[in-house]
Structure 1
Amino acid sequence: MSRVVTLVLVDPSGAVLGALPPYEVPMPWWQEVADVVDGARQHYGVDVTVLRLLRASRDRPHGGAVVYAAELRGPGTPSIVDAAPADTAALAPHARRAPWAEPGGAHATLSWAADRLAARGRLVARTVQQRTWNLSAIWRLETVSAGDTAPVDAPHPVDLARETAWVKQVPPFFAHEGAVLRWLGEALPGTAPALLAEEPGRLLLAHVPGVGRYEADATELDELARDMHRVQVRAARDLETLLAAGLPDLRAPRLAERVRAVVAAYAPDDPALTALTDGLEARLAAVAECALPDTLVHGDLHPGNAIGAHDGRVIIDWGDAFAGHPAFDILRLTAGVPEAPALIESWAARWRADVPGCDPEHAVALLAPVAALRNAAVYAGFLAAIEPSEAPFHAADVPFWLDAARALL
C-alpha cells in the first residue's frame, strides 16, 4: 500500500500558487511526510513544508489519494503547477487550525528550536520534516558543534560531531506532555526522552537511539509493562504534583463524565451502552474496592510508543497521559495480543507484590468496557478540537471503540 500525493502550494503569506501534479510515495501513513517532501524535490525540484491534510479519497487512514497544503520554500512559482487547484475551500482560515499548519508556522518553531540549541552550543545543520497532522508536528534536527568551522549545510563528513535532536509541536489538549516529561526526567531519568527545552506547545527533545518496538514479542511486551509499572508506582506518590502541573484528571468522577458524554452524543439510544453508563457508579466503586492506586497513565501504551532495542526501551509520546487507574495501560498494551491473559497475570503479580491485598485482575475485568468507551471519548475530543478537513484521521475511531465496548459487555 502506498499514497498518491497532490500538493497544493502556498507562499509564506498563504497565497495559493497552484497544485503540483500527483506523485506516488511508498509510505501509506497519512501523517508521515518525509517521503512527501523528498518526492516533491525529486520529481519537481521544489522544496516544501507540508502543512496539513486537505482531502483524502478514503474515509479512514491510510493509503489512497491524498491532497495536502504545502508551503513553498524559496522564491518564485514552479512552472509545473496547475494554476487552479480544486481544494481552495479547505485553504480558507479556520479557528481550529494548528499553528504549525499555517504558512510560516514551521519556520517559527524551527527558529525557536535553533535558538535553544545555539544556547547549548549546537548549530542546526539540517532539518527533516517527519510528521504533520492535527495531533503533532515533528522535525528531526541534525546539529553540529558551534565550534566547527565547516558550513552547517555541508554534507555529512565523519569528522564533524553530529548530534540529532527532535522538535515536537502539539495542540493545547496535549500541552501537559512537557510537564510529564519534566517529571519523568527528574524522578526516573532514562524512562522517557530527555527534555532539552520547552514552551507551551513546543518540545525540544534529545535523540533516543534505536527503533520503534512495533514487532515486540510477548517477552518484550512484559518488559514494557514492567517499565510502566515502575513509573506508576513512583508516580502514585507524586500524583498531586503532576495534576498541579497540568496532567488531565480522569479519576473516577471525571472518567464517568467523559464516558457518559460520548455515549450521549454518539449512541443515546443504544440499550447496552446506556445500561453500562447507568451502572457506572457501581462499577467504578467496585474498581475502587480492588485497591490499586490512581497514578500516571500513559494513555496509549503500545510497543510503537517505545524506542530502543529488545534489551531496553524508552517510552515516548506522553501527550495522551492522564491521572487514573493503571489498568488502562495494560488493557491498551495487550489489546489483540494472543498472550494477553499471561501478560495481565504478570502485570497483576507485580501490583499484588507492591500493594498487598489488591485485586488487579478484577479491576481489569471491570474496566475493559469502560476503557473502550474512554478511547471513544478521546477520539470524539479530537474531532471536536480539529478542523474538518483532517477529520478522516479520526472519524472511524469513535464507532470502532463504541462497538468494542459493546463486545466487552
Structure 2
Amino acid sequence: MGRTVTLVLVDDAGVPLGALPPFKVQTPWWQEVGDVVAGARLRYGVDVDVLRLVDAEQAAPPGGPVTYAAQLRSGRPDRLLPVPMPMGVHPARAAYAHPNGPRASVDWAAGQLAGLGRPDVTAVQLRTWNLSAIWRLDARGRPVAWLKQVPPFYEHEAAVLRAVADAQPGIVPRVLASGEHGRILLADVEGTDRYGADAGECAAIAADWHPVQVALADRVDKLLAHGVPDRRDPVARIRQVAATRRIDVPGLAELVDGLDRRLGKVAECGLPDTLVHGDLHPGNVRSGGQRRVLLDWGDAGVTNPAYDVIRLTEGLAPAGAEEVVHGWALRWRADAPGSVPERAVDLLRPVAQLRAAVTYADFLGAIEPSERPYHAGDVLRCLQAAVTAARAVRP
C-alpha cells in the first residue's frame, strides 16, 4: 500500500504556483515525506520542502491520494497543474509548516553543528505533520545528528530529555542544542526503531527504564519546575472529553462516573508518581544491538508508572504481555515495598485509554483543520477501548 501524492508548490512568499502531476510513493504513512521529496527530485527535477497536509481523499491514513503544500527551493518544473488552495494562514499552523520555516530550522541546526566543529552537513527532510518535523543531518554520507521540531504543546520535550539524561546518560538521545519554535538538535542514534518487538525485547525495555523511574520519583518537584507536565489528575479533562460521547458509547457513563473510586483504589496500590514516557511502545525505542535508546518524549509527564508498562505491552499476545508485566511488578515490589503493582495495572488499563482519548482531543483542538484527519477517529476509538478494558477488571 502506498500513496498517490500531489504537491502544490508555493514560492517564498507562500503564493501557490500550481501543482506537480500526481506521483506514487511506496510509504503509506502521510507524515513520512522522505520519499515524497526524493520523488519530486527524481521525477520532476525540483527540490522542495514539504510544508503540510492540504487534503486527503481518505478519512484517515494510511495510503490513498494525498495533497501537500511544498515550497519550491530549486528547479523549474516543466508544467504545473492549476489547483485552488486557500491563501489564509491558520493561527494553529506550526512554525515549520510556513514557507521558509523548514529552511530557517535547517539553517539553525547547521549553525549549531558548525559551532560544534561539524560544518559540512546536508539535511534530509523525513517527516512533517501536526506533531513534529524531522530532518536527518548527514556528513560524508553518514548521519551525524537529527533535527526535530515540535509544536508549542510539545515544547517540554528538550527539558524531559535533559532530565532523563541526568538520571541515566545514554538512555535517551543526547541533546546537542535546543532553540526557539520547538527546535531540538539531537546526536545520531545508531540502529533501527523496534516496531514489532517481541515480549523478551519489551521486557528488556521495561528493565532499562525502571531504575530511571525509581530515581526520578524523588525528583518530581524538580521535574515540574522544569516544565514537565503534571499528568497526575486526569479526571476533570476526561469528563469534559467524554461528556459528548456518553450516549454514543454504552458503558462510558458508568466508567467515567466511577473514576474517582477507581483512582482511589490505584493510590492504595502504593506506586510512587514519577516521570512517565507516555507513549512507550517499541517503535519509540531505537537499538543497534548494543543498547536501547528511548525516543519521542512529547507525551511525557509526571504520573503513575503503570501507564508505561500498559502501553509497552499493548501489541503483545496475552501470555507475552503477562510475562512483561510480571517482571515489571517484581522490580516495583522490590523498590516500593508493600506495593501491589499488578493491581495498579489492571485498574489503570481503562484509564490509560481514557487518557489517550484526551490526548487526541487536545491534538484536535490545537491543530489546523486540514491536519485533523490524522486523529479524527481516535477519540471515539479510545473511549470504546476504555469501556472494553473496564469490563475485564472491576475496581
TM-score (norm 1): 0.92
Indicate if the aligned counterparts of 2:249 and 2:383 stay in contact, CA closer than 8 A. no
Query: Corresponding residue for 1:303?
Result: 282
User: Alignment RMSD, CA only?
Assistant: 1.4
Q: Aligned ranges for residues 153-302 of structure 1 at < 5 Å?
A: 156=141, 164-200=144-180, 201-251=182-232, 254-267=233-246, 270=249, 272-302=251-281
Indicate if the aligned counterparts of 1:7 and 1:70 stay in contact, CA closer than 8 A. yes
Query: Corresponding residue for 2:100?
Result: 104
The percentage of counterpart residues that share the same residue type is 54
Indicate if the aligned counterparts of 1:296 and 1:323 stay in contact, CA closer than 8 A. yes
Deviation at 1:268, TM superposition (A): 5.7
Structure 1 distance, partners of 2:202, 2:105, is 35
Match of 1:398 among 374, 379, 383: 379
Structure 2 distance, partners of 1:70, 1:124, is 25
1:78 partner amino acid: P
Q: Secondary structure at the match of 1:109?
A: helix
Deviation at 1:215, TM superposition (A): 2.9
Indicate if the aligned counterparts of 1:259 and 1:370 stay in contact, CA closer than 8 A. no
- 1:6 and 2:2 correspond: no
Q: Secondary structure at the match of 1:79?
A: coil
Deviation at 1:311, TM superposition (A): 4.8
Structure 2 distance, partners of 1:379, 1:181, is 23
Query: Corresponding residue for 2:110?
Result: 114
Q: Secondary structure at the match of 2:36?
A: helix
Indicate if the aligned counterparts of 2:110 and 2:121 stay in contact, CA closer than 8 A. no
Structure 2 distance, partners of 1:262, 1:406, is 14
Structure 2 distance, partners of 1:163, 1:408, is 42
Structure 2 distance, partners of 1:268, 1:189, is 48
Q: 1:74 to 1:113 in 2, by over 3 A?
A: same
Query: Corresponding residue for 2:29?
Result: 29
Q: Secondary structure at the match of 2:119?
A: strand
Deviation at 1:267, TM superposition (A): 3.4
Query: Corresponding residue for 1:382?
Result: 363
Q: Secondary structure at the match of 2:252?
A: helix
Structure 2 distance, partners of 1:167, 1:269, is 42
Structure 2 distance, partners of 1:265, 1:116, is 47
- Long gaps (5+) in structure 1: 145-155, 157-161
- 1:137 and 2:136 correspond: no
Structure 1 distance, partners of 2:356, 2:118, is 40
1:134 partner amino acid: N
Deviation at 1:5, TM superposition (A): 0.3
Q: Secondary structure at the match of 1:129?
A: strand
Indicate if the aligned counterparts of 2:147 and 2:186 stay in contact, CA closer than 8 A. yes
- 1:39 and 2:9 correspond: no
Query: Corresponding residue for 1:330?
Result: 309
Query: Corresponding residue for 1:78?
Result: 77
Q: 1:131-156: CA deviations, max 9, x gaps?
A: 00000000011136xxxxxxxxxxx5
Q: 1:388 to 1:124 in 2, by over 3 A?
A: farther
Indicate if the aligned counterparts of 2:255 and 2:387 stay in contact, CA closer than 8 A. no
Q: Secondary structure at the match of 2:54?
A: strand
Structure 2 distance, partners of 1:285, 1:389, is 40
Deviation at 1:271, TM superposition (A): 5.3
Q: Which runs of 4+ in 1 moved over 3 A?
A: 265-271
Indicate if the aligned counterparts of 1:44 and 1:80 stay in contact, CA closer than 8 A. no
Query: Corresponding residue for 2:393?
Result: none
May I ask how many residue pairs the two structures share in their alignment?
Answer: 387
1:109 partner amino acid: S
Q: 1:271-293: CA deviations, max 9, x gaps?
A: 52122221111111110010000
Structure 1 distance, partners of 2:170, 2:79, is 48
Q: Secondary structure at the match of 2:227?
A: coil
- Long gaps (5+) in structure 2: 391-395
Query: Corresponding residue for 1:61?
Result: 61
Query: Corresponding residue for 1:123?
Result: 119
Indicate if the aligned counterparts of 2:249 and 2:384 stay in contact, CA closer than 8 A. no
